[in-house]
């Protein structure tokens, strides 16, 4: 039996190269392998830190869907659905909240890190605080068996499995599945500033829809080796963002290895490397940009696709909710 995969993104902004490296390319692969795959557009979770700007989340549902289609996600093989349009997720979340303590949520490393990053302090929105429980509902509502995540999200999978085990034990029936996490080989892509992973909020991202000129400008600003002041100076490859990107996106590995040798020996300038990376990235993004523009110009098709995927998902989630309610004696 092939696994049921649940993956997805919060529509807090359009998708970028970090998303492609960390998840999008793998989703295309899973699709080609014939695995049953659901992709959730997690608009409710996006509202946990965008509650004052719901229009932004609403608009980005369309933008993210265009990105999915542009990179090769095929809705005839992969089911894409909108979180807020699956009421069963909210019901499951409410039931699961009784299975998790406040102290356990506080100990979740992913939640602790994101609370610090967003500077919430004691003013943590309750929706943000409990989103690991909502995420467990996302996963279990389609009976997912496999969830691809970055290493920083592994505590979320652990918490989901704790909820699954507690539920099955309390209600004496194996209704819910434990899930297996898959960590991609390259799960994170450093931003163009070289300081942190690529992120919209940090302003260090190259987006899938960026024009060739915008990509060139962003690569030009990219962090390299601060001690490589003259072309003749020996340069450092480790931690050099340009080489990090070349290693991932440049298919001419022998040439990249020779560039590294020259750079370390001295005599190779940063602008030569950045010119090459610009050409590599634009060659990679050109077909994606072309497909994205096509879908962006046909909003009716994109939104109909989302509605059809959501309707198909509801057929599954309604059965899951019925099973859950049956063992909880919520059948009248």
Question: In terms of Cα–Cα distance, which of 30, 42, 60 is closest to 207?
Answer: 60
**Residues 102 and 142 grouped into a single domain:** yes
Per-residue pLDDT of the chain (332 residues; tens, 9 = 90+): 568 999 999 998 889 999 998 889 899 999 999 899 999 999 998 887 788 889 999 999 999 999 999 999 999 999 999 999 999 999 999 999 999 999 898 888 887 887 777 777 778 888 888 889 999 999 999 999 999 987 878 888 999 999 999 999 999 999 999 999 988 776 678 899 887 788 887 889 999 999 999 999 999 999 888 888 788 888 889 989 999 999 999 999 999 999 999 989 988 888 999 999 999 999 999 999 999 999 999 999 999 999 999 999 999 999 999 999 999 999 99
pLDDT (tens digit, 9 = 90+) per residue, 27-48?
999 999 989 999 999 999 888 7
**Residues 15 and 81 grouped into a single domain:** yes
**Residues 309 and 278 grouped into a single domain:** no
Domain assignment present for 207: no
Domain assignment present for 205: no
Estimate the crossing angle of helix 270-296 against helix 253-265, to 10 degrees. Answer: 140
Instruction: For CA atoms 67, 36, 57, 302, give the dihedral sign.
Output: positive
**Residues 8 and 68 grouped into a single domain:** yes
Q: CATH number for the domain including 229?
A: 1.10.240.10
Report the SS3 class of residue 147: strand
Domain assignment present for 253: yes
Domain assignment present for 196: no
Q: CATH number for the domain including 109?
A: 3.40.50.620
Give the domain extent around 234. 212-293
Domain assignment present for 226: yes
pLDDT (tens digit, 9 = 90+) per residue, 160-183?
999 999 999 999 999 999 999 988
The rounded Cα 181 to chain-centroid distance in angstroms is 14
pTM: 0.90
Do the strands 36-41 and 180-182 form a parallel or antiparallel pair, or are they unpaired?
unpaired
**Residues 181 and 220 grouped into a single domain:** no
- DSSP per-residue codes, 269-287: -HHHHHHHHHHHHHHHHHH
**Residues 65 and 169 grouped into a single domain:** yes
**Residues 127 and 257 grouped into a single domain:** no
pLDDT (tens digit, 9 = 90+) per residue, 103-133?
898 888 887 887 777 777 778 888 888 889 9
- DSSP per-residue codes, 41-100: E-HHHHTTTTTT-HHHHHHHHHHHHHHHHHHT--TTTEEEEEGGG-HHHHHHHHHHHTTS
Given a contact cutoff of 8 angstroms between Cβ atoms, the answer to whether 192 and 199 are in contact is no
Spatial distance between the Cα atoms of 16 and 289, rounded to a whole number of angstroms: 12
**Residues 54 and 165 grouped into a single domain:** yes
Spatial distance between the Cα atoms of 44 and 37, rounded to a whole number of angstroms: 20
Domain assignment present for 69: yes
**Residues 21 and 167 grouped into a single domain:** yes
Tokens of 158: 């652990």
Domain assignment present for 109: yes
**Residues 101 and 218 grouped into a single domain:** no
Domain assignment present for 242: yes
**Residues 57 and 180 grouped into a single domain:** yes
**Residues 236 and 119 grouped into a single domain:** no
Task: Give me the number of domains the chain comprises.
Answer: 2
């Amino acid at each position: 039996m092939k696994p049921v995969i649940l993956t997805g993104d919060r529509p807090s902004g359009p998708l970028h190269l970090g998303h492609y490296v960390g998840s999008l390319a793998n989703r295309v692969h899973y699709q080609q392998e014939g695995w049953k795959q659901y992709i959730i557009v997690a608009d409710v979770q996006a509202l946990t830190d965008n509650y004052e700007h719901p229009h932004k989340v609403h608009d980005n549902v369309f933008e993210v869907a265009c990105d999915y289609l542009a990179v090769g996600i095929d809705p005839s093989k992969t089911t894409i659905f909108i979180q807020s349009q699956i009421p069963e997720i909210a019901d499951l979340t409410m039931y699961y909240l009784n299975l998790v303590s406040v102290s356990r949520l506080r100990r979740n490393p992913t939640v602790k890190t994101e609370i610090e990053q967003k500077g919430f302090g004691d003013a943590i929105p309750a929706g943000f605080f409990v989103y690991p429980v909502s995420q467990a509902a996302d996963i279990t509502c389609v009976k997912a068996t496999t969830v691809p995540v970055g290493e920083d999200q592994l505590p979320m999978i652990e918490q989901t499995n704790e909820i699954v085990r507690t539920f099955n034990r309390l209600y004496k029936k194996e209704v819910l599945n434990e899930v297996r996490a898959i960590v991609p080989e390259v799960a994170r892509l450093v931003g163009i500033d070289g300081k942190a992973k690529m992120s919209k909020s940090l302003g260090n991202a190259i987006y899938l829809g960026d024009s060739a000129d915008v990509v060139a400008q962003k690569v030009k600003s990219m962090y390299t080796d601060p001690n490589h002041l003259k072309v003749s100076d020996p340069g450092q490859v480790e931690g050099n963002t340009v080489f990090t990107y070349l290693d991932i996106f440049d298919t001419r590995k022998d040439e990249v290895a020779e560039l590294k040798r020259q750079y370390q020996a001295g005599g190779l300038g940063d602008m030569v490397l950045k010119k090459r990376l610009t050409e590599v990235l634009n060659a990679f993004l050109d077909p994606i940009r072309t497909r994205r523009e096509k879908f962006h110009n046909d909003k009716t098709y994109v939104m109909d696709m989302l509605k059809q995927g959501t309707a198909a998902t509801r057929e599954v989630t309604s059965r899951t909710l019925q099973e859950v309610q049956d063992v909880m004696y919520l059948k009248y």
